[in-house]
A and B are shown apart, each in its own frame.
Chain A
């Protein structure tokens, strides 16, 4: 089963609004990743974080690696219609192999004009 708690499960927002979602875990992670998945496609990497406290931006996206190493958040500013999709957090536990990522259950974002 999945070890990451991702919230909210879904968000209905108006175009131009900011979006915020987060992931928490009871285990320590050494990597946090944020992905977006469109229907019928595989996830696409948005942001990668490697150090506790790290804050990284990619255009209108900003993500942070929590200082406890057990959480991360993703913000999307000034949302646009193409931001619609499912966003997943993923992390690599310190006790797992490099190739093994744990994924959250996803946050579905719906943007209305």
Chain B
């Protein structure tokens, strides 16, 4: 498809279980972003990549959260030992732009993975 693809669409995990969320960005997009959106809130920044380099991971809430983009394309967000407070929609976005924003800077968001931790 032409858009950002995220899988799975829904994930139910038992507390303490590890999960892996996948993001396929738009082909050729240099930058990739992960955001966490709690119910009724706006997205909150987790981390972003430029190609395979993770340039900012200041939003990752704890060392249980880990993201990678080894070949500068597909990215995986891994959450270890999930807790109830990790329940949220995890949004991935990609952008053609790099560090200097272009006049038509645009992040294309996927539909997200809804994670429920029981």
Contacts and interface: CB of A to CB of B under 8 A. Distances in A.
A90 B105 CA distance: 13
- Chain B: interface secondary structure? loop
Nearest to A9: B40
Interface residues of A, number: 25
A102 interface: yes
Nearest to A99: B48
A43 interface: yes
Contacts of A96: 56
Contacts of B103: 50
Interface in A87-113: 88, 90, 96-106
A104 B48 contact: no
A18 B111 CA distance: 29
Which of B40, B43, B93, B105 has the most A CB atoms < 10 Å from its CB? B43
B45 A101 contact: yes
Given A42-B110, A42-B112, A98-B101, A103 B43 contact: yes
A40 B100 CA distance: 31
A69 to B, nearest CB: 16
A106 B42 contact: yes
Contacts of A48: 104-106
A67 interface: no
A78 interface: no
B111 A40 contact: yes
Nearest to B109: A42
B99 interface: yes
B42 A42 contact: no
B59 A100 contact: yes
21 contacts: A2-B42, A2-B44, A40-B111, A41-B109, A41-B111, A42-B4, A42-B91, A42-B93, A42-B109, A43-B43, A43-B109, A48-B105, A50-B103, A88-B42, A88-B43, A90-B42, A98-B99, A100-B58, A101-B43, A101-B45, A105-B40
